[in-house]
């Protein structure tokens, strides 16, 4: 019997995937604001949208049952097994940077990522290149 090998996603792939995934309308939020407003993130909102971290978690992740705030991960010492296999192996610091991209309303508009968001993506790509 062959075992299926899961190819892990690189940091670059995850950053670019996140940049393509959202507009200001489909980000997973508890509180809504205009595109340029700050809001509170949810791993999964009532409409079924998931945040940058939430979309990478296994369906029954204990994080979905928590405070709906990625910062709460600190309190349970970062559990890599809560991620789908292809997203495992990345540090909490990396995930916080990706989540920051999702959370900042000023990075998004109705069509997707804007100029400020693209600048954050470039920063993340440089920060994590080769790591």
Give residues with Cβ within 8 angstroms of 42, minimum separation 6. Answer: 28, 29, 30, 51, 54, 68
Task: Tell me the C-alpha distance between 24 and 29, whole Å.
Answer: 10
Whole-number Cα distances in Å, 45 to 26, 63, 79: 10, 13, 22
Q: What is the pTM of this model?
A: 0.81
Hunting for tokens 């792939």 — which residue is that?
13
Of residues 84, 92, 78, the one with CA closest to residue 17: 84
How does pLDDT run across 21-62, given as a tens digit for each residue?
988 778 776 665 555 555 667 777 777 888 888 899 998 887
For residue 88, name the pLDDT band (cuts at 50, 70, 90).
Answer: very high
Tokens representing 98 are 């990706």
Q: For residues 41 and 70, is the Cβ–Cβ distance under 8 A?
A: yes
Nearest partner of 94 among 14, 8, 6, 7, judged by Cα: 14
pLDDT at 92: 85
Quote the DSSP letter at residue 2: P
């Amino acid at each position: 019997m062959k075992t299926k090998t899961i190819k892990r996603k690189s940091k670059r792939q995850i950053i670019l995937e996140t940049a393509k995934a959202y507009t200001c309308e489909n980000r997973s939020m508890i509180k809504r604001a205009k595109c340029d407003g700050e809001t509170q993130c949810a791993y999964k909102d009532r409409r079924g949208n998931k945040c940058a971290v939430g979309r990478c978690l296994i369906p029954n992740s204990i994080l979905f049952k928590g405070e709906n705030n990625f910062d709460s991960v600190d309190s349970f010492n970062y559990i890599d097994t809560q991620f789908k296999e292809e997203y495992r192996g990345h540090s909490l610091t990396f995930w916080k940077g990706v989540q920051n991209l999702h959370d900042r309303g000023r990075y998004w508009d109705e069509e997707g990522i804007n100029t400020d968001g693209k600048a954050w993506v470039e920063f993340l790509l440089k920060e994590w290149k080769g790591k």
